[in-house]
Amino acid sequence: MSEKKKFTLEYEIKSSPRILYTFLNEANGLSQWFADDVNVRDQIYTFTWDGESQKAKLVAIKENKLVRFKWLDDEPQAYFEMEILQDELTNDVALGITDFATEETLTERKQIWDNQIDYLISVLGA
């Protein structure tokens, strides 16, 4: 089995960091674009897609800035992170994604993020 490697993506999003943040860390916000259903208990988020559930632990959080999750059944070094990036000069907001994938699944993972973020942008009306 090939090892997962870190990759990063960046998406421009016309939203305030404060509003965007609620879609990254609140179950209600995440369930509007990231998964069909999201439940949270003791920092463990249960994400459900098409009836299949996956659990992730919230391992890092910075208000209005960043959330990092670790899949409970994944390789030790793997995580996924969503970071709100704001340009100090223009105040433009972008969402930085860090995730892990094997060589074989990299293109597919990126495509999934592209689709999710498109969905997020439409939900935000951005």
Lowest mean pLDDT: which of 5-14, 72-81, 107-116? 72-81
User: What tens digit of pLDDT does each residue of 91-115 get?
Assistant: 999 999 999 999 999 999 999 999 9
| Residue 2, pLDDT score | 76
| pTM, 2 dp | 0.92
Which CATH superfamily hosts domain 5-124? START domain (3.30.530.20)
Domain positions in the chain are: 5-124
| Residue 82, pLDDT score | 98
pLDDT band at 1 (very low <50, low <70, confident <90, very high): low
User: What tens digit of pLDDT does each residue of 26-61 get?
Assistant: 999 999 999 999 999 999 999 999 999 999 999 999
- CA-to-CA distance for 110 and 16, rounded, in angstroms? 24
- Cα three-residue angle 32-120-16, rounded to 5 degrees: 105
Rg (CA), the chain: 14
